[in-house]
A and B are shown apart, each in its own frame.
Chain A
Amino acid sequence: MKASAFAYARATSVVNALELLAAYGDKAKVLSGGQSLMPAMNLRLISPEFIVDIGELAELRGIVVKGDVLTVRALTRHVDVLGSPEIATHAPLLRDATSHVAHPAIRNRGTLGGSLAHADPAAELPACMVALGATVIVCGPQGERRIPAQEFFTGIYETALSPQELLVAVELPVAQKDSAHFFHEFARRQGDYAIVGLAAQAIIQGDQFADLRLGFFAVGDRPLLAKAAENLVNVAVTSEVLASASAALSEELDPQEDQQATPAMRRHLAKVLLSRCVATLLSRPDLREGARA
C-alpha cells in the first residue's frame, strides 16, 4: 500500500500554485489536508504525476466577516471551523456539520476547501454550502470566478473547478434575524460517511417558516437543495402538509444503492430526517412521527 512515484512541489503563493497547475493541468493534483487524496494514492486508486502542495499558503487561511458576508478561506481546517467564534455566530450550521466530519485526527488536517473540491456526495460540507447559499470562489489563469454552490457540485467527485483552477474561499451570507438551523445525519458509526444526511437553514417567523433551505446529502450524486421545502414555507404546517412535502421530496430523490442502504432505505431515511427537521425547527414534537404515514 505505497503510492506510485510522483513529482512534488510546495507552492509558495497562490500565483505560484496556479502556474504549476497551468503547467501540469490534469496530471496534477492539489494537496490540501490530504485526508482523501493520500489514502486514494496509497491504495493506487489514483496515481497523479504531480502534486501541488498548497499547505503553506498563509493567504488561503482565515475566517473573515465583512458586512453581511462571512468568508472562509480554503485552507481553513475543520478543527479551526469548530473553534471559530465567527462561524459559531454567523454560520452555526457549518459548525454543527463539521463536528460530524470524520474524527479529530482527520479534522486536525482536513480543510474546508479540500472537502468541497473533493465533492464526495456523502460529505457534510457541500450540503451545508448549498443550504447556506454559499458562493465558491476559484482562481485560475483567467482570474477569479464566483460560482454559486448549487452550480459548483456537478456529480460524484465532480465540480465546476477546472484542472487549472484553485478553490480559494467560500462566501456565506451571515445568519439573519430569526434564522434557525438543523443538522443531522444517519451514519453507522460516529465519523462515518452518512447514509443520509440533512443540513437545513431556516427563517422562522411566528410558528411558520418564512424561508427553508434543505440540503440533503448522500441521496444522489451531489448535494440536493430540496424543492420540497417550498411546500412548507409560509404555511401552517400540519401533518398533511408535511406528508405532501414528504411525498414531493420522495419524487425529487434519486438515491444510489451501496453496502449500507438500498435506494428505498435512503428514501425512507430522508423522509424521517425531513420530519425530524421540521418538528425540531418548529418545536412541534407531534410532527416527528410524520414519516410513519
Chain B
Amino acid sequence: MTRAPENRDAFSVLDRPNSYIGKTVPRPNLDRLMQGRGQYVSDIELPRMAHVVFLRSPHAHARITGIDGAAAKRMPGVIAVVTGQEIAAVITPWVGVLSHLKGLKSAPQSAIAVDRVCWQGEAVAAIIATSRAAAEDAAEHVAVAYEELDAVTDMQTALDPTTSVIHPALGDNLAFERNHDAGTVDAAFAASDEVVEAEFIFGRHTGVTLEPRSVVADWNAAEARLTIYQGTQAPHMVQNIAALHLGLQESQVRVVCKDVGGSFGIKVHIYADEMATYALSKLLRRPVKFVADRVESFNTDIHARDHRCKGKIGVKRDGTITAFEIDDLTGIGPYSMYPRTSAIEANQVVNLVGGPYATKNYRARARVVFQNKNVMCQYRAVGHPIACSVTESLVDLAAMKIGMDPVEIRRRNLIADDAYPCASPSGLRFEQLSHHAALAKLIKMMDYDALRAEQATLRARNIHRGIGIASFIEVTNPSAAFYGVGGAKISSQDGVALRLDAQGAVVCQTSITEQGQGSESLTAQIVGSVLGVSMDRVRVILGDTDNTPYGGGTWASRGAGIGGEAALQATKVLRRNILDVAAAILQSTPGELDIINNSVVNVSDGAPRIELSELARIVYFRPDTLPPGIQAELMATRHFVPREYPFAFTNGVQASWLEVDTDTGFVKLLKHWVVEDCGTIINPQLVDEQIRGGVVQGLGAALFEKCVYDERGQLTNANMADYLVPMSGEMPDIDVGHVVSPTLESELGAKGAGEAGTAGAAAAVTNAVNDALRPFRTIVTEIPLTPQIILTALGRI
C-alpha cells in the first residue's frame, strides 16, 4: 500500500524541480575516500603524540595482587606505565544504569582495573611509548601477579545460590528483570487448539568494524582544554561523559569525529580503554593515541545477543494466533555498559516479540545476568533479531502443527493495514505500518508459488530446499523515551545550521554523524532540493562539537528521520530569508519568487531574476544598496525531535531460499528478499544498501558468527580466521522492495532503515532451514546454524 501523503502542501517542499529526493545520487564524500583522503583517527599524527597499549587480563576473574612495571619503564621509547590506581587520580569510575529501567543495577567500573579483573581482556595497566611497537615490546615486561577467582560463565547457572556473586555488594548476579503480562494469556492458551513450545538459542557475537575503535586525546594544559579525536557515533555524548569523569566543564572538551570505518552500534558506547586514554593525556600532558588491534577488538568491543529464550504460542485450527509467551535469559558480562546500559536488548526483546501480530495476549519475562565475559550491549538492530526469530519461528511451528502454509498464517494474523494507529500488547504505539502490503509485494517478488513447486520437485530428487518468511517491526527515530527519560545525557534532538556563503554556496553544519551510511549525502540532498541549489554547492560539516549544533548523532536509525527533518526545516528558513532579501532587491514579493538551479526565479514564468551568487555579493559587500530597514539573515538553524510518538516504527518482511545438504549439514543461501517500509525514501541506493548490509550482518549471525568462550571464560576465537564473518562468496543476491508509508510526525516523512535487514534475516534463514528439514521431522532452534548443529539434528553424527 502506498499511502498518499495527507498534507499535500507540506510535501511540495520536497517535490520541486530538480529535487534530489527519491533519487540515487553519488555520495559527495566518495571521491575523497576513494582518493585516500579520508580522515580516520588512526591516520592522525600530532606533535609529541604517544601511543598507549593496554596490558589485558589473561583471566576471566582474578584478584590483582601486584603490578611491577619497573622493567617495562626501562625499555626503549617507554614514557610511562600507569596502573588503575594511578589513573584513578584523574578519572572517576562510573555505573551503567538508567532510572527508567527499574531495578537495573551494576557495579562501579574503572578506566583500568584497580584490584580485580572481571573478564579476560580487561585492561590492568597502560604502557605509553613513542610507538605502538615499543609499547607492545614493553608490555611483555610488565609483571602482574594474579590470584584467580571463580569465574561465572554460564548464564543458566549465574543465578544459582551455589554460584559465586561477581559483585558481592549487589547481592546477586541479576542485573535486571522485566515482567510483562497483557491480555488473558492463560485463558487464551487454554482455548487454543494447539500450543507449541520451543527454546531458542542465540550465539554471542560482535560487530567487527573494518576500522577498529580508535581515539587520540590531546590535553592542552595551556588552554585547559581536551580535544578528543574519536571514531564515535555520538560526539556530544562523548563530550558529556569525558567532562563528567575528568572533572571538566563540557566547554573544556571538544570531540572531533571525522571519517569512521563502520560502527554498527559498536561505537556508540563509552569504553574503559577510551576513558583511560582521555585520562592519560591529561596525566601526561601530551597527545595519546589508542587504536585497538583486532585481538583487542574481539576481547573488548561490545558483544551482543547471547540469549536463551523459551517461547510458547497458542493457535486455533483456523490459524488464529491466540497468545505469545516468552522467558528470555541473557548474560551481559560483568558490568552494564555505560551510559546506555546493557538492559536495553532484553527490554527490547520484551517490547518486540509478537509485535507484527494482532493478538493482545502476551506474557514475557526477561532476565539479564552478570558473568565473567566481555561486556555486552547494543549492536545493530538491538533485540530485534532475537524477538523476530522467536516470534517468527513460533508462528512457523504453529503453522506446521495445524498444517497451514506459513504465508497464510501470517495473512490471518498480521495487524491489518487499516487498523492504525494502534498499540502492541507490550504497549508500543504504531502510527502506520504496512505488513499486508509488504507481504503481498514480497510474495510477488519471490514468486512464492513457483518456488513451492520447485521445492516439491527437487525434494523428490533428494534435494532439500527451504523457504523461510519473517515479518518484522523496527524501532527507528527514537525520542527522549530511549535514554533521556532515564537520566542519560544523550540528546534525542538534532540540529542543522545553514549559511549562504559569499558566492551563493551553502555551508551546512549538522549534529548527525557519518560512519559510512550516507549522512552527508542525504543531508546535502535535502538541503539542495528544498533550497533549490545543486548538491555540489552544499558542503556538509559534521562530527565536531565546536562546529555543529548540539545533537544525538547517528544511531538507532535516527540520522535521516531526525537529522534530515532538521535539515529540511533549517533550509525552509534560509530559503524564506533569501527570498525576503531577493524581493527587496528585485522590488517584488517573496510569494512571487522561488529558487531554482541556484537562481532566484519568477514563480509565474520561471524566468531567472538574480543568481544566488549575485544576491550574496550584494548582501555581504553592498548592503548599503539594500532598502532601509532590510537586514539580511543568510544563516538559519533549526532543531527537531519527534514528540508525538516515542519511536517511529517501521515494518517489513524478509524471505530466504536456501538448500540444505543433508549429508554434510551445510547450508547454501540461494536468494534473499526484503520488502520494507521506511517512509519517505531520500536516496534509494543508500536505503537499499543499508538493507543489504543489514541482511548480511543478520546472515552472519544466522550461519557464522559466534564468540566462542570456554568454561573458564576464555574467548577462544578472537581472530579473523576463527571468528567467521559473512563473506561475499557465501552471500546470496538480495532483492529489496519498498512500501512507502511516510510518518506524519515530520514534513520529511522519513523513518529509519538501518536495523531492518539485520532484524529479520536470521529468522528467515532459520525458518527456511526448518522448512527444508521438514521431511526429516526435525527442527533446529539455535544460531549460528552450523553444520555440526544440523547434522546432529538429522541424527547423522
In the bound complex, do residue A272 and residue B663 qualify as a contact, i.e. CB atoms below 8 Å apart?
A: yes
Asked whether any CB of chain A lies closer than 8 Å to the CB of B730, the reply is: yes
In the bound complex, do residue B133 and residue A2 qualify as a contact, i.e. CB atoms below 8 Å apart?
A: yes
Asked whether any CB of chain A lies closer than 8 Å to the CB of B716, the reply is: yes
In the bound complex, do residue B133 and residue A291 qualify as a contact, i.e. CB atoms below 8 Å apart?
A: no
In the bound complex, do residue B788 and residue A261 qualify as a contact, i.e. CB atoms below 8 Å apart?
A: yes
A102 to B349 alpha-carbon distance, docked (Å): 39
In the bound complex, do residue B663 and residue A43 qualify as a contact, i.e. CB atoms below 8 Å apart?
A: no
1/0 per residue, CB under 8 A from B, across A161-202: the answer is 000000000000000000000000010111111010000000
- Select one of B133, B664, B704, B786 contacting A189, CB under 8 A: B704
Contacts of A247 in B (CB 8 A): none
A261 to B786 alpha-carbon distance, docked (Å): 9
A261 to B764 alpha-carbon distance, docked (Å): 25
Count of A-B contacts with CB under 8 A?
Answer: 63
Q: Which of B654-670 contact A (CB under 8 A)?
A: 663-666
In the bound complex, do residue B791 and residue A188 qualify as a contact, i.e. CB atoms below 8 Å apart?
A: no
1/0 per residue, CB under 8 A from B, across A122-150: the answer is 00000000000000000000000000000
A3 to B721 alpha-carbon distance, docked (Å): 18
Who on chain A is nearest to B730 by CB? A189
Minimum CB–CB distance for B700 against chain A, Å: 11
* With A1-B293, A190-B730, A265-B787 as contacts: A259 and B663 at CB distance below 8 Å: no
In the bound complex, do residue B136 and residue A188 qualify as a contact, i.e. CB atoms below 8 Å apart?
A: no
In the bound complex, do residue A265 and residue B717 qualify as a contact, i.e. CB atoms below 8 Å apart?
A: no
Minimum CB–CB distance for B172 against chain A, Å: 32
Contacts of B787 in A (CB 8 A): 186, 188, 195, 261, 265
In the bound complex, do residue A1 and residue B730 qualify as a contact, i.e. CB atoms below 8 Å apart?
A: no
Contacts of A262 in B (CB 8 A): 788, 797
In the bound complex, do residue A265 and residue B797 qualify as a contact, i.e. CB atoms below 8 Å apart?
A: yes
Asked whether any CB of chain A lies closer than 8 Å to the CB of B85, the reply is: no
Contacts of B724 in A (CB 8 A): 188-189, 192
In the bound complex, do residue B791 and residue A265 qualify as a contact, i.e. CB atoms below 8 Å apart?
A: yes
In the bound complex, do residue A272 and residue B664 qualify as a contact, i.e. CB atoms below 8 Å apart?
A: yes
Contacts of B786 in A (CB 8 A): 188, 260
A5, A188, A191, A193: most-surrounded residue (chain B CB, <10 A): A188
In the bound complex, do residue A265 and residue B788 qualify as a contact, i.e. CB atoms below 8 Å apart?
A: yes
In the bound complex, do residue B796 and residue A268 qualify as a contact, i.e. CB atoms below 8 Å apart?
A: yes
Number of chain A interface residues as a range = 20 to 34
- Select one of A44, A188, A192, A264 contacting B797, CB under 8 A: A264
In the bound complex, do residue A291 and residue B663 qualify as a contact, i.e. CB atoms below 8 Å apart?
A: yes
Minimum CB–CB distance for A102 against chain B, Å: 10
Q: Which of A253-293 contact B (CB under 8 A)?
A: 259-262, 264-265, 268-269, 272, 289, 291-292
In the bound complex, do residue A188 and residue B704 qualify as a contact, i.e. CB atoms below 8 Å apart?
A: yes
* With A1-B295, A188-B724, A268-B791 as contacts: A292 and B666 at CB distance below 8 Å: no
* With A192-B724, A259-B716, A264-B797 as contacts: A186 and B791 at CB distance below 8 Å: no
A4 to B724 alpha-carbon distance, docked (Å): 27
Asked whether any CB of chain A lies closer than 8 Å to the CB of B722, the reply is: yes
Asked whether any CB of chain A lies closer than 8 Å to the CB of B171, the reply is: no
Who on chain A is nearest to B295 by CB? A1
Number of interface residues of B (CB under 8 A): 31
Contacts of B727 in A (CB 8 A): 189-191
Contacts of A289 in B (CB 8 A): 462, 663
In the bound complex, do residue A260 and residue B788 qualify as a contact, i.e. CB atoms below 8 Å apart?
A: yes
Minimum CB–CB distance for B694 against chain A, Å: 20
Who on chain B is nearest to A188 by CB? B724
Contacts of B719 in A (CB 8 A): 43
Q: Which of B151-188 contact A (CB under 8 A)?
A: none
Who on chain A is nearest to B728 by CB? A190
Contacts of B665 in A (CB 8 A): 265
Asked whether any CB of chain A lies closer than 8 Å to the CB of B193, the reply is: no
- Select one of A2, A4, A5, A260 contacting B132, CB under 8 A: A2
Who on chain B is nearest to A196 by CB? B664
A195 to B786 alpha-carbon distance, docked (Å): 12
1/0 per residue, CB under 8 A from A, across B677-719: the answer is 0000000000000000000000000001000100000001101
Contacts of A259 in B (CB 8 A): 708, 716-717, 722
Contacts of A261 in B (CB 8 A): 787-788
In the bound complex, do residue B729 and residue A191 qualify as a contact, i.e. CB atoms below 8 Å apart?
A: yes
Minimum CB–CB distance for B380 against chain A, Å: 21
A188 to B137 alpha-carbon distance, docked (Å): 35
B719, B730, B796: most-surrounded residue (chain A CB, <10 A): B796
Q: Is the interface of A mostly helix, strand, loop or mixed?
A: loop
Minimum CB–CB distance for A34 against chain B, Å: 16
Contacts of A4 in B (CB 8 A): 137
Minimum CB–CB distance for A235 against chain B, Å: 24
A2, A4, A186, A272: most-surrounded residue (chain B CB, <10 A): A2
A192 to B716 alpha-carbon distance, docked (Å): 17
In the bound complex, do residue A43 and residue B666 qualify as a contact, i.e. CB atoms below 8 Å apart?
A: no
Who on chain B is nearest to A267 by CB? B797
Contacts of B462 in A (CB 8 A): 289
Asked whether any CB of chain A lies closer than 8 Å to the CB of B294, the reply is: yes
A206 to B724 alpha-carbon distance, docked (Å): 44
A5 to B140 alpha-carbon distance, docked (Å): 13
Contacts of A3 in B (CB 8 A): 133
A4 to B136 alpha-carbon distance, docked (Å): 8
Q: Which of B230-266 contact A (CB under 8 A)?
A: none
Minimum CB–CB distance for A155 against chain B, Å: 20
Who on chain B is nearest to A261 by CB? B788
Contacts of A291 in B (CB 8 A): 663
1/0 per residue, CB under 8 A from A, across B106-138: the answer is 000000000000000000000000001100110
Minimum CB–CB distance for A48 against chain B, Å: 15
- Select one of B136, B663, B704, B708 contacting A2, CB under 8 A: B136
A292 to B462 alpha-carbon distance, docked (Å): 13
A90 to B194 alpha-carbon distance, docked (Å): 64
Contacts of A268 in B (CB 8 A): 791, 796-797
In the bound complex, do residue A269 and residue B704 qualify as a contact, i.e. CB atoms below 8 Å apart?
A: no
1/0 per residue, CB under 8 A from A, across B289-323: the answer is 00001110000000000000000000000000000
Who on chain A is nearest to B724 by CB? A188
Who on chain B is nearest to A269 by CB? B664
A192 to B666 alpha-carbon distance, docked (Å): 14
A264 to B796 alpha-carbon distance, docked (Å): 10
1/0 per residue, CB under 8 A from B, across A40-81: the answer is 000110000000000000000000000000000000000000
In the bound complex, do residue A292 and residue B663 qualify as a contact, i.e. CB atoms below 8 Å apart?
A: yes
Minimum CB–CB distance for A169 against chain B, Å: 29
A291 to B796 alpha-carbon distance, docked (Å): 10
Minimum CB–CB distance for B362 against chain A, Å: 37
Minimum CB–CB distance for A279 against chain B, Å: 12
Contacts of B722 in A (CB 8 A): 259
Contacts of A292 in B (CB 8 A): 663
A191 to B720 alpha-carbon distance, docked (Å): 13
In the bound complex, do residue B295 and residue A43 qualify as a contact, i.e. CB atoms below 8 Å apart?
A: yes
A2 to B721 alpha-carbon distance, docked (Å): 18
1/0 per residue, CB under 8 A from B, across A192-217: the answer is 11010000000000000000000000
Minimum CB–CB distance for B56 against chain A, Å: 13
A124 to B752 alpha-carbon distance, docked (Å): 46
Contacts of A260 in B (CB 8 A): 786, 788
Contacts of A272 in B (CB 8 A): 663-664
1/0 per residue, CB under 8 A from B, across A100-117: the answer is 000000000000000000
Who on chain B is nearest to A5 by CB? B137
A289 to B797 alpha-carbon distance, docked (Å): 16
Minimum CB–CB distance for B494 against chain A, Å: 37
A75 to B137 alpha-carbon distance, docked (Å): 32
Which residues of A line the B interface, CB within 8 A? Answer: 1-5, 43-44, 186, 188-193, 195, 259-262, 264-265, 268-269, 272, 289, 291-292
25 residue pairs from A and B, CB less than 8 Å apart: A1-B293, A3-B133, A4-B137, A5-B133, A5-B137, A43-B295, A44-B136, A188-B724, A188-B787, A189-B724, A189-B729, A191-B727, A191-B729, A192-B724, A259-B722, A260-B786, A261-B788, A262-B788, A265-B665, A265-B791, A268-B796, A269-B664, A289-B462, A289-B663, A292-B663
Known: A189-B730, A190-B730. 6 other contacts (CB 8 A): A189-B729, A192-B724, A259-B716, A264-B797, A265-B797, A291-B663
